[in-house]
């Protein structure tokens, strides 16, 4: 379960369950959504977060252990030291974000002796840097202070006890002893006047711990190195303990595999001639080692920016690294170096990172070999990570880059579909212009034997056939020979075959049908109904006669004059039979075993049921109502009828005329 955390890192999600709990902090795994600025082998923004509280002790009066660890990571940067990302305070808890790492104790049992050897080389280089460049003493070299990144690289941590040599006293070591690894503490440490050789003793103990379950012959010079650690690094007199830089010169850290690892790490310091010779032979030298160890320890270095920009590596190394191994290799094909499972686990995450690099040379190299490894990505990885980067490439001003990108996009169309790759709405602008006048089975040269020899060879053996099929020296080549067989022709269902097929079949197999008429009781009922004067009938009849004549010619030798009369009579007989067969009229359909019902459409009576009777519209004539008008009883204020009998002077005032 994930939980949001208020922090200086936007989009940070920290897991609730800690993977490691120590006296000073808890180690959590987390994810940053906006992870473009942070290195993550998985490509999902994975980081590590350490949460620490205040601690009690004389060494932590000014700052907490996690705060010292964080400050030292920020100050001392080295490829073999855990990389610092950010730190912030939330209430009383300090948070430290680093690159994605795991405690060495969690994965040590699964490591090979060769991987342990490379890991010790990294830790030794980090200690040499701290001693000689920073002038500091680590004071806590042990398994608990070592972490492993996602690509298998060992990184030095546990810098909370880091102290300058000038301030390193017996009292300081005594105060720190309560939390230090007991086995890594020299029993006589308090009595020594020289305190600068504490890390040598602890490193010898570390070598003994990590190789506890390994045999001495599993790594070159391992037995010698263990003896060297006991006799020199754990010498009772600290003054006789060698500097750690001298330990790097031991044969244990200079065998072939370690030498390859070192060369790739320090590639910028090598000359052009050294690089050419190295990359020309590197793959041959690595074939004798376990491929998973090679991929885990050297995969990132083989696909680093410096390696991919080297001309010799681009020609002799990269084409083999970017192609998964295939059991079936065609002639002239470049074989892959890593198997498919190893490629997916260790090389694919690195490729997803490289597609985010804005370097035209690296992108062109990936595009050139894109078809070799595109199938190792999942559908989601292609659509969510690879496709957006390719779409960005087609907008570049470099025409060569755009051209190569378009070719790679065409590789994605069969996988993701054109809608996903090009987007937008599509329309059909092109049609199939091939002629479609005849069925494929009637086209010349479309014999089933030429399409699927193996299938039809089996079918022809299993089913009755008029020809025998013989295999030649080539297993896929079939040769047919005519051999006349008497076969009973099956009656075709009504309407089951075309007219052309009926006539041709009738002419070709007239003789066979005549021999098999007794086997079919209803054969006489099946006749052709085409009119004799029809153009189609005449044309098809000619075709049938021609085919029939050609068949007879093939069966009767033409070089014999004595047989010419027989040939003529055979042709005449066959033509007469075909004509008689075509003139037969079909019998009445009522005699066939078909249940039909005759209906007289001339009858129209009460027996006929009208299914649409209730759907006829009913239009009734409106009734007219006569209303008698009585003008005498109707009064209206609008009726004005003058009274003729009224005196015209009535109603006026008496004094009107005065």
Bridge partners, residue 13, by sequence: 4, 31
pLDDT at 520: 47
Ordered DSSP codes for 436-498: -SS-GGGSTT--HHHH-HHHHHHHHHHS--SEEEEE-SSTT-EEEEE-----PPPPPPTTSS-
pLDDT at 373: 94
Please state, in angstroms and rounded to a whole number, the distance separating the CA atoms of residues 509 and 515.
10
Consecutive 10-residue runs of the chain (658 residues): their mean pLDDT? Answer: 51 91 93 61 76 84 91 94 93 92 94 92 96 94 94 93 91 87 87 87 95 84 93 92 94 92 91 94 92 90 92 93 79 80 93 92 96 94 94 94 96 92 85 75 46 39 41 42 42 45 45 47 43 45 45 44 55 68 54 50 54 69 58 49 56 53
Residue 121 exposure: Cα atoms within 13 Å on the Cβ side = 24
pLDDT at 514: 45
pLDDT at 588: 52
Please state, in angstroms and rounded to a whole number, the distance separating the CA atoms of residues 264 and 302.
7
pLDDT at 638: 52
Q: Which residues contact 529 (CB under 8 A, 6 or more apart)?
A: 586
Q: Which residues contact 264 (CB under 8 A, 6 or more apart)?
A: 298, 301, 302, 304, 307
Please state, in angstroms and rounded to a whole number, the distance separating the CA atoms of residues 297 and 260.
11
């Amino acid at each position: 379960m994930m939980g949001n955390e208020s922090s200086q890192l936007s989009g940070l999600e920290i897991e609730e369950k800690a993977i490691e709990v120590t006296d000073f902090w808890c180690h959590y795994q987390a994810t940053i959504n906006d992870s473009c600025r942070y290195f993550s082998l998985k490509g999902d923004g994975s980081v590590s977060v350490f949460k620490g509280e205040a601690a009690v002790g004389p060494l932590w009066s000014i700052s907490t252990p996690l705060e010292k660890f964080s400050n030292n990571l920020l100050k001392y940067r080295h490829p073999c030291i855990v990389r610092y990302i950010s730190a912030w305070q939330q209430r009383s808890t300090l948070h430290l974000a680093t690159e994605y790492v795991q405690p060495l104790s969690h994965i040590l049992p699964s490591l090979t002796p060769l991987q342990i050897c490379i890991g010790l080389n990294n830790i030794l280089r980090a200690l040499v840097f701290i001693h000689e460049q920073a002038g500091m003493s680590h004071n806590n070299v042990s398994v608990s202070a070592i972490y492993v990144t996602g690509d298998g690289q060992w990184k030095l941590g546990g810098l909370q006890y880091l102290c300058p040599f000038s301030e390193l006293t017996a009292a300081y070591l005594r105060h720190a002893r309560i939390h230090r690894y007991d086995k890594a503490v020299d029993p006589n440490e308090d009595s020594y006047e020289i305190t600068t050789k504490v890390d040598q003793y602890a490193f010898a103990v570390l070598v003994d711990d990590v190789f506890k379950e390994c045999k001495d012959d599993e790594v070159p010079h391992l037995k010698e190195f263990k003896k060297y650690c006991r006799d020199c690094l754990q010498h009772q007199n600290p003054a006789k303990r060698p500097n750690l830089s001298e330990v790097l010169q031991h044969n244990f850290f200079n065998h072939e595999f370690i030498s390859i690892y070192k060369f790739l790490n320090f590639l910028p310091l090598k000359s052009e001639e050294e690089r050419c010779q190295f990359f020309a032979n590197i793959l041959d030298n690595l074939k004798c080692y376990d491929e998973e160890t090679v991929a885990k320890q050297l995969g990132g270095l083989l696909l680093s920016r410096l390696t991919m920009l080297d001309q010799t590596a681009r020609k002799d190394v990269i084409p083999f690294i970017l192609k998964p191994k295939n059991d079936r290799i065609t002639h002239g094909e470049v074989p892959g170096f890593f198997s498919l499972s190893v490629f997916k686990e260790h090389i694919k995450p690195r490729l997803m990172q490289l597609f985010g690099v804005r370097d035209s040379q690296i992108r062109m190299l990936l595009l050139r070999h894109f078809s070799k490894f595109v199938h190792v990505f999942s559908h989601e990885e292609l659509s969510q990570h690879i496709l957006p980067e390719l779409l960005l490439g087609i907008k570049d001003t470099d025409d060569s880059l755009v051209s190569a990108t378009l070719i790679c996009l065409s590789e994605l169309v069969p996988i993701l579909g054109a809608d996903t790759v090009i987007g937008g709405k599509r329309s059909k602008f092109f049609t199939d212009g091939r002629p479609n006048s005849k069925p494929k089975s009637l086209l010349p040269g479309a014999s089933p034997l030429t399409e699927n020899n193996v299938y039809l060879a089996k079918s022809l053996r299993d089913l009755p056939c008029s020809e025998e099929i013989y295999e030649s020296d080539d297993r896929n080549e079939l040769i047919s020979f005519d051999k006349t067989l008497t076969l009973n022709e099956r009656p075709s269902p009504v309407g089951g075959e075309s007219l052309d097929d009926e006539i041709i079949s009738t002419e070709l197999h007239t003789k066979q049908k005549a021999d098999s008429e007794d086997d079919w009781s209803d054969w006489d009922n099946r006749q052709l109904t085409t009119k004799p004067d029809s153009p189609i009938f005449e044309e098809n009849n000619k075709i049938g006669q021609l085919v029939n004549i050609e068949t007879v010619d093939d069966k009767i030798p033409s070089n014999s004059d004595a047989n010419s009369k027989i040939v003529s009579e055979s042709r005449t007989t066959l033509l007469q039979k075909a004509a008689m067969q075509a003139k037969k009229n079909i019998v009445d359909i009522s005699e066939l075993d078909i249940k039909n019902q005759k209906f007289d459409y001339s009858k129209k009576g009460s027996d006929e049921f009208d299914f649409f009777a209730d759907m006829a519209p009913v239009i009734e004539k409106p009734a007219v109502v006569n209303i008698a008008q009585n003008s005498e009883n109707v009064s209206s204020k609008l009726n004005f009828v003058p009274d003729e009998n009224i005196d015209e002077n009535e109603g006026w005032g008496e004094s009107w005329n005065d």
